[in-house]
Structure 1
Amino acid sequence: MQANPDWNAIRESIESGTFGTPLNGGPVTLMLGTSIENYDADSGTLTAGFVLGTDFLNDNGVVMGGIVTAALDLAMAMSVMARVPEDTAVATTNLQMQFFRPCLPGSYLAEARLVKFGRRIAFCEAQLLDSAGTHIATATSTNQLLV
């Protein structure tokens, strides 16, 4: 199985402590201007930064819900990828979203946390916060670990 290009970028950022720098990962990671802002291996918590710009606006002038969903899905997957070997793929098998406020173009933080980490399944939760700390959306996911 081919390694996810994000895996190396995530590991490099965490191991070098280079937080706040855009990741040089896969296409979605690049498109969303993704960075790792913090990682705590003991709690399984990863904070990811995203730049959600005007390219993602819908006709109402807000960032499309699918883009917000992609950012939170990616943050949760990154929290799992930070913990698994390179040859382990992470596949989202269930994803639940709740939107609380409109997402306007700007910089955001996603705080993702491993709720339970097993041999084949990982359960995660994440919240998206704007630059003022306002809670924009919440997600939960189930991720299958494919070896």
Structure 2
Amino acid sequence: MSRGDAGDFPHARLMGVAFDSFDAEREEITLRFNAPDSFRTPRGFVQGGLVAGFLDEVMGWAHVWATDHEEAPLNLEIAMSLLKPVPIGPLVAKGRVIRRGKRVIFLEGELFDEAGTLLARSTSTAIPTPRPTGD
């Protein structure tokens, strides 16, 4: 990945994120995560707030890639539904831009296990902002 993409930041390295693909026509990105054992709850699955972090990450990168790395979303609201327990280990996430305006954008994210089972879904309402460099 380049241009300060997902795996280049400390929080992303903690989540084990790696770029997979971007479909410009659909404005949909696919990222891979490797949920570390340190994310495990006493029940044996990824803690819910950390699941929200995976989904937030993939939705944000969908907008970044859809704007050719010029913008990044600033979240106003995120909603998440946990459909199944999220296991420790490899995960696949898809994020997409649903609608983009000058003042507000709507994003959607899904998290899957390696077999393709849908584990969690999310939506976000955000403000488009110039992308910070992180320097």
Shift of residue 66, structure 1, vs aligned partner: 0.8
Of 36, 48, 52, 1:53 maps to 36
- Matched-pair contact (CA < 8 Å) for 1:45–1:79: yes
For residue 4 of structure 2, what is the aligned residue in structure 1? 9
RMSD: 1.8
For residue 80 of structure 2, what is the aligned residue in structure 1? 97
TM-score (norm 1): 0.81
Query: Unaligned 5+ residue runs, structure 1?
Result: 1-5, 11-22
Q: Does 1:31 align with 2:14?
A: yes
CA gap 1:70/1:143 in 2 versus in 1, 3 angstroms:
same
Instruction: Supply the distance in 1 between the matched residues of 2:100 and 2:42 (Cα, whole angstroms).
Output: 39
For residue 126 of structure 2, what is the aligned residue in structure 1? 143
Q: What is the percent sequence identity of the aligned residues?
A: 26
Query: Unaligned 5+ residue runs, structure 2?
Result: 131-135
- Opposite residue 107 of structure 1, the aligned amino acid is P
Shift of residue 86, structure 1, vs aligned partner: 5.0
Number of equivalenced pairs: 130
TM-score (norm 2): 0.87
Instruction: Supply the distance in 2 between the matched residues of 1:68 and 1:105 (Cα, whole angstroms).
Output: 11
- Opposite residue 9 of structure 1, the aligned amino acid is G
